[in-house]
Copies of this chain bind each other. A is one copy, B any other.
Amino acid sequence: MAPLTSAKTRPVRLADIAKAAGVSHGTASNVFARPEIVREEVRERVKAAAEAMGYGGPDPKGRLLRAGKVNAIGVATAEPLSYFFDDPFARVMMASISQACDATGAGISLVSAVNGEQLAWNIQSALVDGFIVFCVDGGSKLVQLARERKLPFVALDLDSDDDDAVAAIGVDNIAGAGLAARHLTELGHRRFAVLTLPCADAGFGPTTREQVEKALYSATRDRLRGYFAELSRFDIDVSRVPIYETVNDEKSVWAGLDHIFAGAETPTAILAMSDRIALHALDWLRQHDITVPGDVSIVGFDGVPEGAVSKPPLTTIVQPIAEMGRLAVKAILENDGSFSRQSLPIELVIRSSSGPSPA
């Protein structure tokens, strides 16, 4: 009773079929990797043996070790994995990253974890040739982890504070935010409110300029700086502009508007730090019979496709998301070490969510 294939495991290796076919493992390997250099008769014999023994082809695990290259890039975020499929910005970015990967034949590994411990492990053990890091929240920890791995990586975000020798691709958030604020002031608006992206680790609520300056995520900081710099230029007292921190979801945005419009002096213009925030705000305003842009104007940030078909279509600062994705993939794949940081142009796209101040 020879214990043959125990149906549980697949202990059939290349060496096994080589022996079965009566050739060396070197030749067996060639049959799969470079069939043209092995004599037809032998090739068929090996293939037959493989077939007979239920061999599924060379195991990539083995090849990988020898080759060194995984041929896949990791995309990392500190959000839960589903972030990639839920968030509009992430989706557009991922779509362009995928296209770039498709074009070069590289695969994509999604790396994430909410729990910090787990995240570290996931990054340390990810089988990838490099990382693209989504610096949404807790970005610096991610960057830290990615760097420790000593693999090429690019951060999708330009941190204006530390030009820390970390390779990064992003936009000038300060300038972009300035564009938004300037657009609204030029339309005559003087009473503003700001809906921010997350600053602290969790939670939402009214916040202050000082708090936002401490935000983990640099884009949040820079966008507020951009808004306020421009508003100040128009002699608007930014210390009186209400700032509400959201977590980029419907609930917190609605709570923010509840809060803002409960005040005595309601704004005629809202600066939203993401299109997602702006779109949720549009819903809230519609439900409260506040017309846009009649009563209130709103400008988003990002330029996701949903903004073009919302009601009304959203005026926003569009980032060249597709281009960013493409460059990020390129930076990883063709990593020659030279790449450092790249700032891409943003653009104000005026649609119908902004109009003259009612006052």
**How distant is the Cα of A111 from the Cα of B122 in the complex, in angstroms?**
19
Q: CB within 8 A of A57: which of B80, B86, B112, B149?
A: B149
Chain A: number of interface residues, binned into ranges: 35 or more
Contacts of A82 in B (CB 8 A): 94-96, 98-99, 102
- Give A3's nearest chain B residue, CB to CB: B165
Please tell me if A239 contacts chain B, counting CB pairs below 8 Å.
Answer: no
Contacts of A80 in B (CB 8 A): 98-99, 102
Binds B, one of A5-13, A168-176, A241-249, A285-293: A5-13
| A84 and B85 contact, Cβ closer than 8 Å, known pairs A1-B165, A65-B61, A127-B72 | yes
- Give A60's nearest chain B residue, CB to CB: B125
Please tell me if A2 contacts chain B, counting CB pairs below 8 Å.
Answer: yes
- With both chains docked as a complex, state the minimum distance between the C-beta of A186 and any C-beta of chain B, in angstroms: 34
Contacts of A96 in B (CB 8 A): 82
Please tell me if A4 contacts chain B, counting CB pairs below 8 Å.
Answer: yes
Question: Is B110 in contact with A151, judged by CB distance below 8 angstroms?
Answer: no
Contacts of A317 in B (CB 8 A): none
| A102 and B81 contact, Cβ closer than 8 Å, known pairs A5-B337, A56-B150, A122-B107 | yes
Q: CB within 8 A of A70: which of B56, B57, B61, B114?
A: B61
- With both chains docked as a complex, state the minimum distance between the C-beta of A294 and any C-beta of chain B, in angstroms: 21
| A101 and B127 contact, Cβ closer than 8 Å, known pairs A56-B150, A148-B56, A337-B4 | no
Question: Is B62 in contact with A65, judged by CB distance below 8 angstroms?
Answer: yes
Contacts of A125 in B (CB 8 A): 60, 63, 71
Please tell me if A68 contacts chain B, counting CB pairs below 8 Å.
Answer: yes
**CB within 8 Å of B: which A69-109 residues:** 70-72, 80-82, 84-86, 91-92, 94-96, 98-99, 101-102, 105, 107-109
Question: Is B110 in contact with A165, judged by CB distance below 8 angstroms?
Answer: no
Question: Is B150 in contact with A5, judged by CB distance below 8 angstroms?
Answer: yes
Question: Is A81 in contact with B61, judged by CB distance below 8 angstroms?
Answer: no
Contacts of A55 in B (CB 8 A): 150
Please tell me if A126 contacts chain B, counting CB pairs below 8 Å.
Answer: yes
Question: Is A109 in contact with B56, judged by CB distance below 8 angstroms?
Answer: no
- With both chains docked as a complex, state the minimum distance between the C-beta of A35 and any C-beta of chain B, in angstroms: 14
Please tell me if A198 contacts chain B, counting CB pairs below 8 Å.
Answer: no
| A102 and B114 contact, Cβ closer than 8 Å, known pairs A60-B124, A61-B65, A124-B60 | yes
- Provide the A108-144 mask, 1 if CB < 8 A to any CB of B, else 0: 1111111000100110111100000000000000000
Contacts of A124 in B (CB 8 A): 57, 60
| A61 and B60 contact, Cβ closer than 8 Å, known pairs A105-B118, A337-B8 | no
- Which residues of A are at the interface with B, using a C-beta cutoff of 8 A? 1-2, 4-5, 7-8, 10, 54-57, 60-65, 68, 70-72, 80-82, 84-86, 91-92, 94-96, 98-99, 101-102, 105, 107-114, 118, 121-122, 124-127, 147-152, 165, 335-337
8 A-B contact pairs sorted by A residue (CB < 8 Å) = A5-B150, A56-B148, A60-B124, A85-B94, A102-B113, A105-B113, A105-B118, A105-B122
Q: In the complex, given contacts A62-B65, A110-B110, what are 8 additional A-B residue pairs having Cβ atoms less than 8 angstroms apart?
A: A5-B150, A61-B70, A64-B65, A71-B125, A80-B99, A81-B98, A85-B92, A107-B109
7 shortest A-B CB distances, which residue pairs? A7-B337, A81-B98, A56-B150, A2-B165, A82-B95, A108-B110, A60-B125
